[in-house]
Amino acid sequence: MIKTDVIIIGGGATGCGIARDLALRGIPHYLIEKNDFAAGATGACHGLLHSGGRYVVNDPDAASECICENRILRKIAQKCVEQTGGLFVRLPGDSKLFRDRFLKSCEEVGIPAEVISPTRALDLVPTLNPVLEEAIKVPDCSIDPFRLCMLNAVSSRNTGGGILIHHKVIDIIKEKNRCVGVKIQDQFSSQIKEIRARLIINASGAWGDIVARMGGSFVPMTLSKGSLVISNHRLTNLVINRLRPPSDGDIIVPNEAVCLAGTTSIPVSDPDTIDVDPAEVDIIASEVESMIPAFGTTRLIRAYPGVRPLLKAETDDSRAISRGFRIIDHKNGMFSILGGKLTTYRLMAEKMTDAIIAEFGLKTPCTTAEVPLEGQEELSGYPLSKRLKNLDDIICECELVTRKDVERIINNIGTKYIGDIQHRTRLGMGPCQGGFCTYRALGIMQEMGRLTPSESMEVLTAFLQRRFKGIRPALWGDQLREEQLVEYIYLGLLSMEQKT
């Protein structure tokens, strides 16, 4: 049995941020994540490092947190952030009154906002709809959530923190009505282990209430599903928002060679049974097309949903719920942290760790706003510009991932999961969505003795099911044609019809 001071449940941005903060304050800890890092809302988000503009009119407190954290993350997480800048564009018919309130609120909250003419906006983003009436420039950025989580985990590992991915918390151990540990299950071998700790932090996002109930408490949450669509091209170098109250399909964020467009907001009750409705893709595509007309003719490669873990509120409109966060002390050895944004993950981690430090009777201050994330240099081979320099033995043609890259990840983290290689190299994230490179990567894993042939069939089957779920709502045009080819490969050549 393992013993530590703090157990963190959840390897999203919040959990990884807490692990790093505890590490920098010298507190022994274990982080438990049932999938890979960023498997929940963190990896299913736009990757927008908010300037605060999106919330400034309706939720100035959340907007103020966003601009502060935006400034900090640009400094400490340079290799995760692309300082794109952002535009809020006003199209014909969009309210001028809202525009005036937006500018006034930006001034009050301290968000730099510069009004620019349509000509200047079109110089910056030539793909914008030329009918736009004006644009407001703000310091929005694009941020890589996978890299952010992994880098936060590096600090934790460097100081001896335990990080267990692909381990699920299946129960909370209680003694005399106090939570004293967790039972975890290895998701590959099914082996069950116990870890004991002085305190437990529930940072499991949309699963927060499920986990809290294992410990005999509950957390008041509203779950809101949002769907996103990925375009095959980088249609804009700046984040583009529509200058109107937040609604469906009003954001598009550049990310590497593609763009992420979204989103929707639909109440859900179970974070494990969510799908993208093709109607959501239609709404997002038509709304984004009104800002960037080329979006209507660009190949869409995938759609995926995420669930926002929001604070419970007395409203049916999930967009009206505050993006602020809350820490709940269940007074039984467990704390829960919920709400917030990817943008504010560091602040959330700081406040959560402050509470733990106080509980332990210590006074160690937080330094995460000043100390840059460790390990950023090692990850600098990941951007496309670097990958273009090394084109030997390509495994994934869409994203230029080499055999060496795949072998390095398999060696470094000893994984049996194809998704882990994807998140660390972008393997399979291009137009064919892993149609060609997945079986090659599995072949390498077998050659390296990580998987038996029957295990690799299981992994492939699970991967294909997840993959099809993601591309199905976006299947038309070239994407549909390519999918037919991929279908022939797997169902025809590889005879997988019985399995999938």
Ligand X SMILES: Cc1cc2nc3c(=O)[nH]c(=O)nc-3n(C[C@H](O)[C@H](O)[C@H](O)COP(=O)(O)OP(=O)(O)OC[C@H]3O[C@@H](n4cnc5c(N)ncnc54)[C@H](O)[C@@H]3O)c2cc1C
Q: Which residues bind ligand X (CB under 6 A)?
A: 9-15, 32-35, 39-42, 44-48, 50, 168-169, 203-207, 211, 226, 228, 262-263, 306-309, 340-343
Nearer Cβ to ligand X (159/185): 185
**Which residue, chain included where needed, has tokens 């060496």?**
404
The alpha helices in 3-115, defined as continuous H runs, are: 13-24, 60-76, 96-109
Residue whose CB is less far from ligand X, 8 or 401: 8
The CB-of-491 to ligand X minimum distance in angstroms stands at: 30
Instruction: Name the residue nearer to ligand X (CB basis): 209 or 483.
Output: 209
Q: At what angle do helices 96-109 and 60-76 cross, to 10 degrees?
A: 60
User: Could you tell me the smallest distance in angstroms from the CB atom of residue 337 to ligand X?
Assistant: 7
DSSP H or E segment with residue 418: helix 418-425
- Give the single-character DSSP code of 243: S
Which residues have a Cβ under 8 Å from the Cβ of 355 and sit 6 or more positions away?
327, 329, 335
Within 8 A by CB and 6+ apart from 155, the residues are 19, 20, 23, 24, 161, 373, 374, 375
Task: Please identify, using beta-carbon distances, which residue of 228 and 398 lies nearer to ligand X.
Answer: 228
Q: For ligand X, which is the closer residue by CB, 262 or 434? A: 262
Tokens in use for 153?
């985990």
Least distance in angstroms from the C-beta of 239 to ligand X: 9
Closest separation in Å from C-beta 5 to ligand X: 19
**Residue 25 CA: distances (Å) to CA of 29, 334, 336, 364, 459:** 11, 20, 20, 6, 39
Tokens read off for 350: 């700081």
Beta carbon of residue 439, minimum distance to ligand X (angstroms, whole number): 26
Which of 263, 415 has the CB closer to ligand X?
263
**Smallest distance, Å, CB 258 to ligand X?**
15
Contact 219, 208 (CB under 8 A): yes
To ligand X, the closest distance from the beta carbon of 308 in angstroms equals: 4
> How many CA atoms are closer than 13 Å to the CA of 367, on its beta-carbon side?
11
Residue with smaller CB distance to ligand X, 351 or 387? 351
Tokens representing residue 75 in the block: 């400094």
CB of 299 to ligand X, least distance (A): 21
Q: Which residue's CB is nearer to ligand X, number 316 or number 377?
A: 316
What values do phi and psi take at 87, rounded to 5?
-125, 135
